[in-house]
A and B are shown apart, each in its own frame.
Chain A
Amino acid sequence: MCNRAVSLIARVVESHGISTVSLSLNRELSEKIGAPRTLYLRYPYGAPLGEPGNVDQQRAILKEMFAALDTITEPGTIIDLPHRWRRDTFAPVAF
C-alpha cells in the first residue's frame, strides 16, 4: 500500500512544480495509480534501496533515480531496474 501512497503523493508534489522520482516494489499498483517517474525493483518489502550497510548498492539506486530525471520524458513511465536481490554485486559509485 506504501506504493499507492507514493504514487499519489508524487503526483501532488509534481503538480507544485517539483520534479519527483518514485521507487516501486509493486509494479501493478504503480501502474494502476500512475506517478510522473517510477523505477520498479524486484526487491523485498522493507528494502527498496537494498541491503543494510551496502553503501555502493544504495548509491547505485540513488544514481539511477537521479538519472531518470533526464531519461524519462513521458509522465507515467516505469523503468524496470535489472538488479537481483542478493545476487548482484555493486562497484563503488561515482557521481
Chain B
Amino acid sequence: MGLFERLDIWRLFGKMTNSPTGRRFQSSCRRLVEKAMRPLAAGRSEDPLPFMPLEKALPECRVSLITTTGVHLDDQDPFDTASALGDSSYRAVPSGVNVDCLRISHTHFPHDRAEADINVIFPIERLRELAEEGAIGSVGADHFCFGFDLHVKELVAADSGSAHEIARRLQEDGVDVVLLTPG
C-alpha cells in the first residue's frame, strides 16, 4: 500500500476541516476573503446623490473629459501600477495636445485597442471635432486622468481629495459638463 493509502489522507483532510480547528480555519479564510473584497464596495455612501441639471443648451457648453484609464503625457510620471491599492493621483492633459504624446499606465485592462486609437477610452479628438462643428460650445482647457485606484479618502475627502481638487479646477475653467470613461 502507498503512503497516501496508508494515511487515508482524504479521510484525514475531511476530519481536519470538520474538526473545531478545521472550522476555525474555514472561518478565518472566509474573513480574509471578505476583507480582501472590502475595497470593491468601499466608497458606497448612504448620502443622496448630487444632481446638477444642465441649464444651458449643448452648443453653449464647455466640456471636459475625466478618465480612470491611466492616460498621461509622455513627459509626465506614469501612474503607480505596483501598489495594491493603486494610485490616487491624477494628471492634467491639455485638451489641445497631439495624441501621439499620450501614454497609458494601467494594468487592469487590455491596451491594444486604445493604443490603436486613444479615443476608444479617451475621446479627446472626437470632442475637439464636436467643438469645431459647433455641436458643443468649447472643450475645457484640460482633461483629467486617473489610474487604477482603490483608495477612497484620498480621492473623495472634501478638503484634500484629488477628485475635489480637479472639480475646483474644472469650476475655475468654467466647465459645464464632464464625461467620464472607465477602462
Contacts and interface: CB of A to CB of B under 8 A. Distances in A.
A21 to B, nearest CB: 6
B109 A46 contact: yes
A47 B113 contact: yes
Nearest to A45: B109
A73 B54 CA distance: 10
- Size range of the chain B interface in the assembly: 35 or more
B49 A52 contact: no
Contact of A35 (B49, B114, B126): B49
Contact of A9 (B51, B111, B113, B155): B155
B180 interface: yes
Contacts of B171: 16-18
B167 A16 contact: yes
A18 B182 contact: no
A70 B180 contact: no
Interface stretch (B11-19, B20-28, B38-46): B38-46
B73 interface: no
B121 A34 contact: no
B119 interface: yes
A80 interface: no
A89 interface: no
Contacts of A1: 40, 86, 108, 148-150
B180 A6 contact: yes
Given A46-B120, A95-B130, A11 B49 contact: yes
A16 B183 CA distance: 24
B34 interface: no
Contacts of B170: 13, 16, 18
A24 B182 contact: yes
Contacts of B149: 1, 5
Contacts of B109: 2, 45-46
B135 to A, nearest CB: 3
B180 A19 contact: no
10 contacts: A1-B150, A4-B150, A10-B66, A10-B178, A16-B164, A18-B178, A21-B180, A45-B108, A50-B120, A73-B53
Given A62-B126, A69-B54, 16 more contacts: A9-B163, A11-B45, A13-B66, A13-B170, A14-B51, A16-B167, A18-B175, A45-B109, A46-B109, A46-B183, A48-B120, A49-B123, A59-B126, A66-B136, A75-B51, A76-B49
